[in-house]
Structure formats: C-alpha cells, structure tokens
Structure 1
Amino acid sequence: MGTINILFVSASAGNGHTRAAEALRVHSRHAGVSATHIDILQFVSPLLRMVYTTLYAWLVRRAPAVWRQVYQSTHAADSAGPLHLLRRWAERLNSTRFEREIGRIAPGAIVCTHFLAAELLSQLTARGRLTCPVWVQVTDFDLHRIWVHDHMAGYFVPNDEVAFRLRAHGIAAARIHITGIPIMPAFSGPRERQRCARELGILPFRMTVLLMGAGPGFGTVACIAERLLGAHADLQVIALAGRDEAALAALKQLAARYPGRLSPQPHTDTIERLMASADIVVTKPGGLTTSEALALGLPMIVIAPIPGQEEHNANFLLERGAALKAFDLLTLEYRIGHLLAHPARLAEMRAIAQALGKPAAASEVLATILKQVK
C-alpha cells in the first residue's frame, strides 16, 4: 500500500481547495501512503492564473452581483455549448505545463479538489494521454455544473443532496461517495477547552465568540468586535486578523480598552485551538471553515456569503439548524444576544453541528481510493 503514489491537485483560488488537498496529503502520510500535493495554478499561463485568482477575488469583493450572474449562467449553460467549448479550449491552451508535470510525477491515482484540474484531466483521459484513475473531491455543500466531467473514477461529496444532484447529471450512484469534506487530523478529536482558552488569555467558562471574518455591511473585524463587546458585558471575543497587520494592530488597541475580554489573533495554523475555546463562531460560510466548525460541534453565525457557493453553504447550515445568519451589525448583535439569553437553543445548535460533522472524511476518501487501486 505504501508504494501507491497519490497526487492531490488543488488551486489557490480561495483557501478551501488548497486546505482540502493538504488535509488529504497529511492523512495519506499517516496512512503510510506516498502523496504529493500541487497547486495547478503554478503550472498554467500567467493569464489563466490571473483569471482564477486576481479577477475572481476582485469580482467577489467589488462586483458580487456580476459574480452571481457568472456563477448562475455558467451553471445553466449547456456543457457542450459554445461558451464551455471556448472556455475549455482556452484552458487547455494555457495549461501545457500542467500536463508535463503530471507526466513527470507519474501518479498512480489523482484527486482533484478544484474543478479546473478535473476538467483538464478529463480531457487528457479522453485523448488517451492519462491512464491513472482520477477522483473529484467537492469542497462546498453545493454542486456547480462545472464540477461534473466524464472519465472520472468517482466523486467524494459532502452530503446526500450533492450526491442527488450528481445523479441528476448522469453520474452513476456507484461512483458517488458521501464522505464529507476533508479536514486536518487536528479536528478529529475533542480539544481541552481550559488549556486552549488560557493560552489565549481568556476565561475558559465565559461565553466566547470566535470572530473569523468581516464583509460588506459589517465593517472591519475590529468594528464587529467593538460592537459585540460594547453590547454584551458578559461576552469574550477571539478575533482573527489573518495576515492583515493593520487589522491586528487595531484589534490590539481595542483589547487594551477591554482587558481580559478580547484576544486578537494573527494568522494561525492551529485554528482548531481557537475553535475549541469558543461557544459560537462568526464566519463567512466557506466549505472548509464550516466543515471544521461542524467537526468540533461549533454553532455558527454566518455573515457576508459570496454569491453562489457560499450562499448555498449558508442555506445548508441554516436549513439544518447548525447556524443563524446575520445581515448586518445590528442583526449580529441581536443574534448573539438571543443565544446568550437562550442557552438551550445554543446547546441544540451545538448538538446539530456535532451530528453533521464528518471529521473522518479524509480517511474515508483514502480508504475508498486504496480499495479500488490496490
């Protein structure tokens, strides 16, 4: 089993695709499997890389209505129609280095956590230039038509609804595996809240909100933290600034005004320790972040979803009762206050989140692949 070389291909268009692939690579190492993880956007032309990174980021931040239209129109368009034929031709023309890299690695199996890789590898398989099996890992609680391709060995999906949608697109049920979305091994077991909280300089048994982002209608992370701290005297906040030094500086200034109640945090590779210290997470509903929160049984208040995939992620969480949604700062203040006043409701959300979580997703993906390629 250790001689099998599995290649995980992600795309750095957003963090979720990369984190899912990296989670699979780490689990592979623990399973004694040879594994490689590459970012497809490092092996395409600068033009194609710009489309999937800079242009995408600009659209979702500056022109979300345009992005919604792009998302919906590409989903509705005939996959054999001129729009997608032209797109596939342009992607193939700009990705010859990717094909050469696949040949250099010579994997025994490939798992794609982004649709671009799956689409290009489907074309290579159709032309007889790739013979190893290729799987697709869907990384949202949604299925855009662009994820569905011929010649795939199988699909790993987060839930039965996405599986249903795949079957509606003609994918045989036997090739669909409901595993969840792969997350790191650190999310597979309970964490000791007291130790994690004390590391952050907060009280372990005080109601705590983990603030993981901001967005249109909410202002900065510091603005949200200030609003919540001022509105709820019994509340602690852990605020994640990421790699934004200005945001971190603003949070540290705010923490001086609320000693012992605000823990500013820079970018971290141990987000599970922050989650373990919290009762509620306020976050944008990305597929990986929500999967991590569910695995730890952490209720969510979702804010500022990107049109398309994140909106569908939010709907999944809301319909099942693991999350609430806030449309602006005032609504967020109300939602937090409601949960503070109704601990039974928060406990119910926690139980639902725990039931929805799939911390063993990566292990199930690997077990399925190894069973089929051994």
Structure 2
Amino acid sequence: MATILILPFLSISTGHHHVADSLQTELIQQSHHCEKIDIFSHYYQRLEKISSAAYLKWIQYLPKAYSSLYSFLACGHHQTKKRHFMYELMFINGMKQILKEKKPDVVFCTHALPSYLLNQLKTQFPKLKVVNVYTDFFVNRIWGREHIDYHFAPSLEIKEQLISEGVADRNIFLTGIPVHRSYKMDVRTGGNSEKFYNILITGGSMGVGGIFQLIQELAPKGQIQYQILCGKNEKLYNYINRLNHPLINAVPYIENKSDMNRLYGTASGIITKPGGVTISEAIEKKLPAFIYHALPGQEEMNLRLLKKKNLIIELKNRMEQPIEEQLLHFIQSEDACNDYHMHLEQYVEEKSEADIAKVLANIIHNDGKCGETH
C-alpha cells in the first residue's frame, strides 16, 4: 500500500478540489492511503479565508483587472529558470515539512502552485514521484515541468505543448481532465418527456458569474424545464424558490455523485461556465454544453480552446435571440447535434489512450514504467 498526497490549493470548491476528490476515490479503491492537503489552509488558515473571499470579490467586481494580472503572471511561454520568490517565501518550508512528516511515495498536484514548489524541491526528495494533473484545458507557466515525473494532459494540444517544452512523451498521459468514477456509469433515462426537454444550469455555487441575470433572461415558453444547481449558495436557492415558476426549479447541494449522475441522465443539455471539470463531466455524459459566461482568467482561456475544438456552444446575447429559442434550435436540429457529437467523439477518442485507473496503478506499482498504457 502506497502513501499518497493530493495537493489542491485554496479551500474554495473549484475544479482543483473536484479533481482531487476524483483521484482520491480511485486511489482508495486501489487500497492506498491517500490524503488531500491544501498547503495554504494548512499553514495560514485565517489568511487563506481572507484570500479566498478577496479572490471571489475581485473576479466579481474587477474582472478585467484580474484577467490582465492573470495573463501577465500565468500566461505565455514557460520559462525554465523563472522563479516565484513570494510563493517560495510563503510556502516552500511548509511543503518541506509536509513531505518530511507524511513521507509520501507519490504526490498528485491539481493546482499549479504545489507543482511549482515540488519542482523546486524534487532534487531534495529524489525517490518521490510527482504528478501534474491539469484541471483546465490549458497549462499556465507556473506549473512545474523539469522535475515533474508524470503529466495527465487534458488534450492532444497540451500534450504537444509539454513535449515542445522538454517533457518526454513517455511521461505524458492523455487522460483528459479526470472526472469522478460515478459519471462513467450510464444511467441515461432520456433527455426529454412528452412535455419538456430538461436543461441543467450550473455555475452559481460561488455566487459569481452572472447566473442571476441568466435566470432573469430564461423566459420559459413551455418546452424546457430548467433545473438550476445551486450548490451551497442559499441566496440563489431562495431567489429561485421565490420566483415560484413551474418550469424553473432550484436544486440544493448534491453531495452524492451517484445522485448527480442520475440527474445528468435526465438532461438534454447543460448551461454552464467553461470550467474544466464541468465541461469534462458534460463530455463524459455526452451532453451539449451551452456557455453563458466565463470568469476572468482560467475560464476565459478554456473558452477560447473549447470553441476551437467545437466542444461547447456559446449562447448569444438574448437581444439577438432569446435563450430558449437558441436552446431549442440546437436540440431540435439533427445537423447541429450530429456535428457537435462528431467533435465530442473525436475528443473522447483522442483522450482514450490512457485509462485513469490503469495509469494510477502503473505509476504506483510499476516503478514508473507507465508507457505500457499508451
């Protein structure tokens, strides 16, 4: 039995944590001791809470400023010798302490910052295996490269990018963004009844991202039933319930992944933001993903790349065409659906070369001889 750490960053329930949870489920299934640690909360709990709250306010009220700063700090070509001394000053001693205390055999990073720190420390822990598990459809330049053992790539383009930056082909696994094993079970009950198509809406659990405006613009005409996933956002949940609309339903936080999988099985599509995990879940369930808004930073980058691969449908402004009319035009168009599913299948086939469970087992048990899974 291996000792394994999974390192997301910040306590906000973002894709970094969802992917970490998915990996943890797989690893526990394989009987490994597995622990998830956020180094920020671990050492600076009060500061982390302040930082998380500030981040949410920043992307909500000053999105252009955040987008510009993110592009400046994280986007662009990876620089081998680039150092981020502030991150090192705050976290590198803490990371050393965690490694010495926990003595992990393998560490999985689902966020760029832990990856950067471990890339700096790897020579001091030569027996440690470090794996980057990317949670978006692009890779920012903060992620470690040179001393990282393995990479779970979300797309062929990212695999090619990593190779161009000096990562060996044999150390990259084209897995896509890992989703929870529950979503791999087919429980589809059909996306519509005699009366309604069923559309899921997500992306409002953190209270940012324009979901209230979206709900105001739905204007249901009777052909679509909207299920809005509120997460732990009580303000959103109460707002929808006060609407008392027979075709707009608030769905509270769903903890059980099997329950969420059954909800996916009733849907004809999902309206969402271009978060890496949500889009990957939609792809797994073969649901068209309609994009209504992108948060600054990572989601803006995802949106560009997903549009290029034709894996999402970007909703137009309702002044150009009402939202429900756009949804029905797509859902009821055989040509549009066939074209979308053709691109979706191309992507699924592209990433099918590496099964997550097999790759994890090989990394842990076969002393890193993982090329057999390609």
- What TM-score do you get using the length of structure 1 for normalisation? 0.84
SS at match of 1:353: helix
Distance 1:364 1:65, change over 3 A: farther
* 1:154 shift after superposition: 1.5
2:94 to 94, 97, 108: 97
* Residue in structure 2 matched with residue 134 of structure 1 by the alignment: 130
Q: Are residues 1:373 and 2:367 paired?
A: yes
Is the contact made by 1:44 and 1:97 (CA closer than 8 Å) also made in structure 2? yes
* Residue in structure 2 matched with residue 165 of structure 1 by the alignment: 161
CA distance in 1, matches of 2:326, 2:14: 28
Is the contact made by 1:295 and 1:356 (CA closer than 8 Å) also made in structure 2? no
* Residue in structure 1 matched with residue 72 of structure 2 by the alignment: 73
Q: Are residues 1:257 and 2:254 paired?
A: no
Superposition map of 1:148-297 within 5 A: 148-193=144-189, 203=193, 206-213=196-203, 219-221=210-212, 223-230=213-220, 232-254=221-243, 256-258=244-246, 261-269=247-255, 270=257, 271-297=260-286
Which consecutive residues of structure 2, in runs of 5 or more, have no partner in the other structure?
369-374
CA RMSD of aligned residues (A): 3.0
* 1:5 shift after superposition: 1.6
Is the contact made by 2:286 and 2:344 (CA closer than 8 Å) also made in structure 1? yes
Distance 1:372 1:309, change over 3 A: farther
Which consecutive residues of structure 1, in runs of 5 or more, have no partner in the other structure?
none
Residue by residue, what CA displacement relative to the aligned partner does 1:4-55 show, whole Å, maximum 9, x if unpaired? 2222111135510111111011011222333222222222335873686334
Q: Which range moves more in the overlay, 301-310 or 322-331? A: 322-331
Letter in 1 for 2:280: S
Is the contact made by 1:17 and 1:139 (CA closer than 8 Å) also made in structure 2? yes
Q: Which has the higher helix share?
A: 1
Residue by residue, what CA displacement relative to the aligned partner does 1:142-195 show, whole Å, maximum 9, x if unpaired? 01111133211121111110011112222222222111111111111211426x
SS at match of 2:218: helix
Q: Which range moves more in the overlay, 358-367 or 180-189? A: 358-367
CA distance in 2, matches of 1:189, 1:156: 22
Distance 1:94 1:7, change over 3 A: closer
CA distance in 2, matches of 1:321, 1:246: 34
2:2 to 1, 4, 21: 4
Distance 1:172 1:52, change over 3 A: farther
Letter in 2 for 1:43: H
SS at match of 1:257: coil
* Residue in structure 1 matched with residue 372 of structure 2 by the alignment: none
2:141 to 145, 148, 163: 145
Is the contact made by 1:193 and 1:204 (CA closer than 8 Å) also made in structure 2? no
CA distance in 2, matches of 1:33, 1:46: 28
SS at match of 2:113: helix
* 1:351 shift after superposition: 5.1
Q: Which range moves more in the overlay, 239-248 or 303-312? A: 303-312
2:294 to 295, 305, 321: 305
The number of aligned residues is: 357
Residue by residue, what CA displacement relative to the aligned partner does 1:243-292 show, whole Å, maximum 9, x if unpaired? 121211221233x332xx33310121233222221111000111111111
* Residue in structure 1 matched with residue 311 of structure 2 by the alignment: 322
Percent identity over the alignment is 23
CA distance in 2, matches of 1:52, 1:36: 23
SS at match of 1:190: coil
